[in-house]
Amino acid sequence: MLKKERVHYIQQKLQQLYPQPPVPLKHKDPYTLLVAVLLSAQCTDERVNKVTPDLWRLAETPADMAKIPVATIQSVIRPCGLSPKKAKAIHELSNILAEQYQGQVPADMEALEKLPGVGHKTASVVMSQAFGEPAFPVDTHIHRLAQRWGLSSGKNVVQTEKDLKRLFPKESWNDLHLQIIYYGREYCSARGCDGTTCEICRTCFPNRKHPKKTRKA
């Protein structure tokens, strides 16, 4: 199967499986999504969704969160890991949003990436899922599957993002980002598939005899 054929098949299969992929992180608005995505670094979405209700009970707007001591924020988000760093970032970015952006999350990639604790991936997720702007955030699932499916060399997440954006139509990026994540969790996980087991891997590479080694993000 040629790459062009793989791209078409993968997109059709994922659309069939996940026609309307939901946003996995529970949130109420762009701000609560931003904080939830920040918390999801090196943490499962499931755990984040268990922690954030307690955090929103403390404060769910930038102005209110900026008034909460860092230590208090940290005590709530500790189950998510890296709590000292994340608590400080949440407090600082909340203060910036309250003072510089009238309490609103800017719908601007560059502005988002300047906020404490917000890298390119987090900013991309917010642009995509909160504002509907085309973006293709690459997490570990997407990075792994792009290599297994022969869509990227996987040198790093930056290259993987560029490769996927080049292969798939811009209007499909936001759904594909979520669809690949869901497929990676359900059918093509790090341990559950080695590049020869799941339906997409078997269909795209029917003659693959050995596990596909992938580079970590």
Q: What is the pLDDT of residue 129?
A: 96
- Dump pLDDT digits (tens) for 180-209: 999 999 999 999 999 999 999 999 999 999
In this structure, the answer to whether residues 157 and 115 fall within a common structural domain is: no
Does the pLDDT of residue 64 top 80, yes or no? yes
- Dump pLDDT digits (tens) for 93-117: 999 999 999 999 999 999 999 999 9
In this structure, the answer to whether residues 200 and 158 fall within a common structural domain is: yes
Task: Kindly state whether residue 25 falls inside one of the protein's structural domains.
Answer: no
pLDDT band of residue 168 (cuts 50, 70, 90) is: very high
In this structure, the answer to whether residues 121 and 145 fall within a common structural domain is: no
Among 86, 121, 163, 175, which one carries the catalytic annotation?
A: 121
135 vs 216, residue with greater confidence: 135
Domain limits for position 54 = 30-129
What b/e sequence results for 74-112 when a residue is b if at least 16 CB atoms lie within 10 Å of its CB, and e otherwise?
Answer: bebbeebebbeebbebbbebbbbbbeeeeeebbeebeeb
Domain count, the chain: 2
Task: Kindly state whether residue 215 falls inside one of the protein's structural domains.
Answer: no
Catalytic annotation on 121? yes
Does the pLDDT of residue 217 top 80, yes or no? no
pLDDT band of residue 155 (cuts 50, 70, 90) is: confident
pLDDT mean over 17-45: 96
In this structure, the answer to whether residues 35 and 102 fall within a common structural domain is: yes
pLDDT mean over 119-125: 96
Task: Kindly state whether residue 36 falls inside one of the protein's structural domains.
Answer: yes
Q: Report the percent of the chain where pLDDT is more than 70.
A: 100
Q: What is the pLDDT of residue 154?
A: 82
Among 4-13, 79-88, 153-162, name the one with the lowest average pLDDT. 153-162
Q: Report the percent of the chain where pLDDT is more than 90.
A: 94
Catalytic annotation on 194? no
Among 45, 64, 108, 139, which one carries the catalytic annotation?
A: 139
In this structure, the answer to whether residues 69 and 103 fall within a common structural domain is: yes
In this structure, the answer to whether residues 148 and 120 fall within a common structural domain is: no
Task: Kindly state whether residue 214 falls inside one of the protein's structural domains.
Answer: no
Task: Kindly state whether residue 209 falls inside one of the protein's structural domains.
Answer: no
